[in-house]
Structure 1
Amino acid sequence: MSERSYAWPEGHWDWYQHLAFKHGVRAGEMVFVGGQVDKTPAGEPLRAYDLASQTEVVIRHIDTVLKEFGAGLGHAVKLIAFYANDGRVDEAAFLERIGHHVLSHTGTSERAGPAITLVPLPCLALPGMMVEIEAIAMLGDEGEQRERIPANPPELPPMPQPFSHGIRCGDHIWTSAQPTLSPGSRIQHPGDLIAQTDVAMTHLKQILEAFGADLNDTVNLRTWYGGDGTREAWERAARQRAAYFTVPGPAVSALPAPSLPEGNMTRIDAWAMRGANGSRLTRTYANIRDAWQWPLDLPQVAGLQCGDMVFVGQQVALNAKGQPIAPGDLMEQTRRAMTSTRTVLASFGLTLDDMVKQNSFYQGEADPETIVNNQRYRSSFYTEPAGASTGVPLPSFPLEGLMVSVETVAMARH
């Protein structure tokens, strides 16, 4: 069953205004935790500009939300950490710090996940906010620990404890974002987006193969790349990634990340689904008339369903010829993205209220007014209680004129 339960721990931090989104949602064996930050119950940021202190608090918040479902960080299978980096953050040390705090809550040093993705950005939603981390966990019907199988191919650089390059739980496989490092942790092909895309995709292939899966089992692919908001940068990388998939491919999100460490041009992670018995799982694809299109033929889909899971790739304000609609108008582009999301979900017989996790990336800086307006408007599309949400500002998007990108995971109810 995929009936919902929601979490809002007593005294937990809040937004500046009331929203339909909740901090966590459980549907069946899946738990989604929205982006956790260090704020007061009134929505004011705490420990401004202190990455180390905020990281400790945010990891504790994730554990607190998971405990509302009888779980904890020991059940986590995937973390995504957005953090502000002006070039002075030692990313390896930051990753180790996250791992240290995770271990402090799990009480174990087992190498059994979770997978993790780090996304460095110029800033987060509010001044002084340094880190926002979201999570996915899996647990049994009675809250018991599901078997988790890690994969750490020797061809890849080692991960600090307790993280794994890949983790399998049931039919689901998550990978950590693959930067382009050698086993000795050296950057391969520094500054070369195309060569690094090949390295990252090869790493993903090796991880999936360790589970008896392959790239065509991918249901959701996320890419961060060194780009300047121009079509040229997006298109070159998109073509290179596309070469690794047959048609139809996965749901995809690809966004520029100008704060990647020096020499790094991309990092890519995958969510794949393959039967625990090794069987290829059936999937269906969104069938939409008069849909918007990218200005390039790619083997990615607007949405796909595999089992109870429905993945909606990034929705943006483009027309059927791949041209931006309402350039410069964040609210109108948000409306377009949300309307497109609703249309994709409807093709599977679902509504926006079947959403369990949504990420909204919007053009902006660390500005309360922008995030408040964006959150309030997106929230208006949902019936309360709604699933978990993360909102992150970006300086640019894949194509000139775009200002927002929305990606969604939903689950069918029975």
Structure 2
Amino acid sequence: MKKQHASPAGHWSWGPGVGHSQAVRCGEVVWVSGQMATDATGEKRGGSDPISQLPGAMANTERVLSEFGLGLDHVVKLLCFYVYDGTRDEAALLEALGALLPRGLKPAVTAVPVPYLAFPGAEVLVEAFAMARPDGATMPRRHETPLALSPLPDAFAGVVRCGKMIFVSAQSPVTAQGELLHPFDIVAQTGEVMACIKAALAAFGAGFGDVVKINRWYVGQGRTEDFEPAALACAASFEEPGPAATGVPIPRHAREGQLIKIEVVAMLGEDGSSLPRRQVWPDTLWDWTVNIPYWHGLKCHDMIFLGGQVSLDTRGIAVNPFDMRAQTAQAMVHIGSILRELGAGYDDICKLTTVYAGPSGLAALRENQRIRDAFFAAPGPASTDVALPVLAYPGMIIEIDAFAMAEPDPA
């Protein structure tokens, strides 16, 4: 499918030798790379905390969208990574973010606390997903926040429908009155969160069978025993063949005792009918340490979702442990294998989201970024990059999500 790329003149960049785009537009969808409060020289705008940097990050988001003749009023989903020092108020951050949006927009939102960001001095990173008609017109959308969902500021919705897409904001094990349920019990909290997601999907006549991608942000220290219990509790809501999935450990959530946060994307025909989908699992691909119903690649209409790709073997053991270059190349090879079975290729990728184990700083980022970049002809896809202390399995140090678009399969 035809794509447009945007990287405004004078915008910040990843540096020489990196060909990722600030945004990619394909069909009705626009992916915007994670934006910071940074100018073309690398100087940060705002203070030394996430809230003070939000205006600069959103101004850069708006600037990138304007390259396509679009604006913030086209945004349907935001993903906000922010540096959490143990004292910052996530609700206040979301209130501040919502105040920068057009009144009544109500996109879905996910906020993820991290110990640091890849770019030194960056305190917040905001990724946007937008939708628009070919002529730039906004698309009709509906938003709901059923009472069963975890609370959000009024500027955001618990679930948003636009076209065939349904976005569920990250759900937490928190009641409408703000009570944290089952402190420090990740399995019970996962059950509460999946009940919230079920209610969110039902608001638009959808169910777990319509989910195409699920992301879990859970508290973990890079151990198999951190990953498995909540993964199984979450997977119990899905039947084979399930959606694409990614699970990422973070050191902590903003609320003491909260161990999990989950977001999903679903697709449903605009007439309410279920859409045909095709899942693939190439023979060369790795497996988890437990039996869960997720598949590595899924195509629904013109959208392609991949589960986070890593360097593991069929037993869930790291291949080339702690070797960033080798693991990055292997993850990218897996991405290519999945896309081929779906009738697509690297050129069809619109967006990469990469989480990697490493410190803050451009040296650590570029160690894997340039390897990823080598798989694309310029201009490359949009990209969001997040550094973390550890990932899900021992010795595993990179996980790459890929989102692509291709012409729908023949009927």
TM-score category, normalised to shorter length: over 0.9
Q: Using structure 1 for the length normalisation, give the TM-score.
A: 0.96
Deviation at 1:316, TM superposition (A): 0.7
**Aligned counterpart for 2:247 among listed residues 242, 254, 258:** 254
TM-score by length of 2: 0.96
Deviations, residues 301-338 of structure 1 (Å, cap 9, x unaligned): 00010001010101111112221101111111111111
CA separation of 1:44 and 1:375: change in aligned 2, threshold 3 A = farther
Q: How far off its partner does 1:47 sit?
A: 4.5
1:119 is aligned, of 84, 97, 112, to: 112
1:313 correspondence with 2:307: yes
Q: Assess if the C-alpha contact under 8 Å between 1:251 and 1:311 holds in 2.
A: yes
Match of 2:383 in 1: 389
Indicate the residue corresponding to 1:218 in structure 2: 211
The one-letter code sitting in structure 2 at the alignment partner of 1:199 is: E
Residue number among 183, 189, 196 corresponding to 1:190 in the alignment: 183
State the alpha-carbon separation in 1 of the partners of residues 394 and 333 from structure 2.
21
Taking the aligned partners of 1:231 and 1:38, their CA distance within structure 2 comes to 36
- Whole-angstrom CA distance in 2 between matches of 1:391 and 1:287: 25
- Is the 2:21–2:33 Cα contact (8 Å) retained in structure 1? yes
**Deviations 1:274-324 (CA, angstroms, capped at 9, x unpaired):** 111111100011141232111221100000100010101011111122211
Where do residues 154-233 of structure 1 align in structure 2 (5 Å cutoff)?
A: 154-233=147-226
Counterpart residue identity of residue 14, structure 1:
S
Kindly tell me: are residues 127 and 287 of structure 1, through their superposed partners in 2, closer, same or farther at Cα, counting changes over 3 Å? closer
Equivalent position to 2:229, from 229, 233, 236: 236
Q: CA RMSD in A?
A: 1.4
Q: Specify the SS of the correspondent of 1:31.
A: strand
TM-aligned CA distance change 1:287 to 1:363, over 3 Å: closer
- Cα distance, 1:44 vs structure 2: 4.8
Q: Deviation above 3 Å: which 4+ runs of structure 1? A: 42-48
Rounded to whole Å, the distance in 2 between the matches of 1:180 and 1:95 is 17
Q: Tell me how far apart the structure 1 counterparts of residues 56 and 41 of structure 2 sit (CA, whole Å).
A: 16
- Which string of whole-angstrom CA distances, capped at 9 and with x for unpartnered residues, describes residues 114-167 of structure 1? 100001011100222111111111111211111110011022344213210000
Query: Structure 2 stretches of 5 or more lacking a match?
Result: none
Structure 2 CA distance for aligned equivalents of residues 321 and 159 of structure 1: 39
| CA–CA separation in structure 1 for the residues paired with 2:297 and 2:329 | 18
Letter in 2 for 1:324: A
- The residue type equivalent to 1:307 in the other structure is H
Q: Which residue of 2 aligns with 1:23?
A: 22
| Contact kept in structure 2, 1:113 and 1:166, CA below 8 Å | no
1:28 partner letter: G
CA contact (8 A) 1:16 1:43 kept: no
Q: How many residues align?
A: 407
Is residue 22–residue 389 contact of structure 1 (8 Å, CA) maintained in 2?
yes
**Secondary structure of the structure 2 residue equivalent to 1:373:** helix
User: Hey, what does 2:339 align to over in structure 1?
Assistant: 345
Percent identity at matched positions? 38
Cα contact 1:193–1:265 (8 A) shared by 2:
yes
- What per-residue deviation string (whole Å, max 9, x for no partner) do you get for residues 158-196 of structure 1? 421321000000111001100111010111111110111
CA distance, structure 1, for counterparts of residue 20 and residue 352 of structure 2: 10
